[in-house]
């Protein structure tokens, strides 16, 4: 695992943006795994700027988002469809046919847990998977538990995750209780994991990952220790230095 420590969020986002931009320039038909939340916003801003000012071409790029709330329409202000549209897709020349979310196969997921994963496989697999880290060590909506899902599946959100996401809603009661999320196996099959973490509230999860000695379902991000190509970018607050 390559660990890059940066001074603050802006530098973390720039370094991550350079990595993602470099992949697209090297491989114009790159397949990107995308995350939502506040952590990757700076990365997406970098990609938008690279497209608008430096001609970064998204025509042949394919994207797969990690997760989506259930029981929210796609047009809802807090849906992840809306998040991605407002922060990346509307500003670059990506084809709508190349954009994928796990809820599009929700009915199939209930019958066949490999539906979304099979779609990723048909696209050639994910070249670069962008990941944030939850305060409790979750990645995507893979929450700490005795067992973790391998394939994309329906999940129940923990109170801590709903509380963390409540800042995007009027109250925690409005936060959906369920989501559909890429599984740990889906995530670990990506060729390169790009993990971003900033802020003091991520320090404990980052510490458990940097410790490198324990792989546990109590902290799902530690499963990244099994992956052969991981880049972890953290700011000083998250790194504890």
pLDDT at 140: 93
Q: Give the mean pLDDT of 108-135.
A: 84
Of 12-26, 32-46, 212-226, the one with minimum mean pLDDT is 212-226
pLDDT at residue 165, as a whole number: 83
Q: Work out the end-to-end distance of the chain between its first and last CA atoms, rounded to an integer number of angstroms.
A: 19
Task: Dig out the tokens for 77 from the structure.
Answer: 């202000």
- Across the chain, mean pLDDT equals 92
| Catalytic residue positions, numbered | 67, 136, 138, 143
63 close to 87: Cβ distance less than 8 angstroms? no
Alpha helices in 27-150 (DSSP H): 41-54, 80-87, 106-111, 115-122
Weakest-pLDDT range from 1-15, 70-84, 85-99, 187-201: 70-84
CB 43 within 8 A of CB 233: no
Q: Reply yes or no on whether the pLDDT at 16 is more than 60.
A: yes
Per-residue pLDDT of 146-184, as tens digits, reads: 999 998 888 888 888 888 888 889 999 999 998 899 999
The pTM for the full model equals: 0.93
């Amino acid at each position: 695992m390559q660990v890059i420590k940066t001074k603050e969020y802006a530098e973390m986002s720039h370094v991550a943006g350079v990595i993602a931009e470099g992949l697209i320039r090297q491989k114009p038909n790159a397949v990107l795994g995308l995350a939502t939340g506040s952590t990757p916003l700076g990365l997406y801003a970098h990609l938008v700027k690279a497209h608008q000012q430096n001609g970064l071409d998204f025509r042949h790029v394919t994207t797969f988002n990690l997760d989506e709330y259930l029981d929210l329409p796609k047009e809802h202000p807090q849906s992840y469809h809306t998040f991605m549209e407002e922060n990346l897709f509307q500003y670059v020349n990506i084809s709508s046919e190349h954009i994928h979310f796990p809820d599009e196969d929700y009915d199939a997921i209930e019958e066949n847990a490999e539906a979304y994963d099979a779609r990723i496989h048909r696209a050639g697999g994910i070249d670069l998977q962008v990941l944030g880290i939850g305060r409790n060590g979750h990645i995507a909506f893979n929450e700490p538990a005795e067992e973790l899902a391998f394939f994309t599946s329906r999940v129940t959100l923990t109170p801590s995750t709903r509380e963390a996401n409540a800042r995007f809603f009027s109250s925690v009661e409005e936060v959906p209780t369920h989501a559909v999320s890429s599984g740990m196996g889906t995530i670990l099959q990506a060729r390169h994991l790009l993990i971003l973490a900033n802020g003091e509230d991520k320090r404990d999860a980052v510490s458990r990952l940097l410790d490198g000695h324990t792989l546990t379902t109590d902290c799902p991000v530690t499963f990244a220790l099994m992956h052969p190509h991981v880049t972890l970018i953290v700011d000083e607050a998250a790194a504890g230095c």
